[in-house]
Amino acid sequence: MFSFFKNWLSKDQGDSRSIEDLKKDIQEESAVDVEELRNTEAEFEAADEKPASSPSNMIRTDLSLHPNWEKQLDSEKKYTLRFLQAELPEMRRGMISVTGFSMVPQKNGMTVALFFRNATDRPVRIKNIRLAIYLDDKPFARMPVNLEEMGAIPPHTSRPWEVLFPEETYLHENYSFTRWKVVMKAGNSTHVWPTTLELDPEMERRMTTRQKDRLEAMVHTLPPIPVNSIEITGFDIGRTKEDQLVVALLFRNGLEMVYDPDELQIAITDEDHDLVAQGKLNASKIKVKPGNSRPWLIVFPPNAVKKRDANLHRWHVHVRE
């Protein structure tokens, strides 16, 4: 905890950086209208007392520390956080937001310190939301986060908190950037990002660690898919000595239920759009949980291969039920 305070030391003799230097660490704000939030993402409590009324639709927040932070931080550190919070911009009433103010590389990932801000008139508990780190406006890491331990954020306040992004949430290993920000993905979304990888036990036993790592990286690199949709991506293809065609597919589930097809019609075409292979697949064992991705191997027997000399440098998969 409190990795950001270590990051705020200068290189010379461990001295603290000036307050003006620390202000430069405050990043761009990401806000969500509370009307768009789902019950699983945030919970609002009854207000103990009505917050002071504001003549405008804009809210200026005060610092709110979690009780454990209140006990562990000394007066100087509390002053630093209070000063940084005071530098944050006003918020539009009815919004919650997140603003990053420190990012510290760790051996096992990246720790980001954030202000979670509440511009509503009721205490809010942020539960399950999605956070993403952007480097120079390009996504670097994404993951769902459960923030119930942060407790209720009082009305018109900002609460500092730390979140660790493990290495497996990274989309790439490029650390070169000039600016960064954290984006909060919450509310009704038109797209789903199925980043949880499911592996069939039998397939997993046959896979090498490198193959598993490649799949993990792929599910975090592919873009989100539309809500209530299934996307099937072909990611590997090859021929066997017996003239079979083996195709590796990734099933991505954007439905709110388990994807459980009975039978699938699958066709493979090459870069000239010529039919390479086609056939029916008994898909009764392909069960993909909501928000998950599952790889599957399809083997076309020799009599299902229509173009044996096809150039498979580029190929396409076509699937229908």
Tokens of 261: 């097809």
Q: How far is residue 177's CA from residue 78's CA, in Å, rounded to a whole number?
A: 30
* pLDDT over 70 percentage in the chain: 92
What does the pLDDT look like over 45-69, one tens digit per residue? 887 666 555 556 889 999 999 999 9
pLDDT level of residue 192 (50, 70, 90 thresholds): confident
Q: How far is residue 222's CA from residue 319's CA, in Å, rounded to a whole number?
A: 19
The pLDDT of residue 226 is 83
- Concatenated DSSP letters for 214-274? HHHHHHHHSPPEETT-EEEEEEEEEE-TTS-EEEEEEEEE-SSS-B--SEEEEEEEETT--
Buried b (16+ CB within 10 A) or exposed e, 271-280: eeeeebbebe
Residue pair 275/260 in contact (Cβ under 8 Å)? The answer is: no
The pLDDT of residue 210 is 81
The pLDDT of residue 99 is 94
Q: How far is residue 186's CA from residue 141's CA, in Å, rounded to a whole number?
A: 16
Model confidence at 191: pLDDT above 80:
no
What does the pLDDT look like over 107-155, one tens digit per residue? 889 999 999 999 999 999 999 998 999 888 788 888 889 999 999 999 9
300 closest CA partner among 283, 281, 286:
281
Q: Where are the domains of the chain?
A: 3-188, 196-320
Q: Which residues contact 49 (CB under 8 A, 6 or more apart)?
A: none
Torsion of CA 32, 38, 43, 48, to 10 degrees: 60
What does the pLDDT look like over 211-269, one tens digit per residue? 887 888 788 778 778 888 999 999 999 999 999 999 999 999 988 889 999 999 999 99
The structure tokens 């009721």 sit at: 122
Model confidence at 188: pLDDT above 50:
yes
The pLDDT of residue 121 is 92
The pLDDT of residue 194 is 81
> What average pLDDT is seen over the chain?
87
Model confidence at 40: pLDDT above 80:
yes
The pLDDT of residue 17 is 66
What does the pLDDT look like over 273-302, one tens digit per residue? 999 999 999 999 999 998 889 999 999 999
Highest mean pLDDT among 11-15, 199-203, 300-304: 300-304
The pLDDT of residue 208 is 84
297 closest CA partner among 234, 241, 221:
234
Q: How far is residue 286's CA from residue 263's CA, in Å, rounded to a whole number?
A: 10
Domain 196-320's class?
mainly beta
The pLDDT of residue 37 is 83
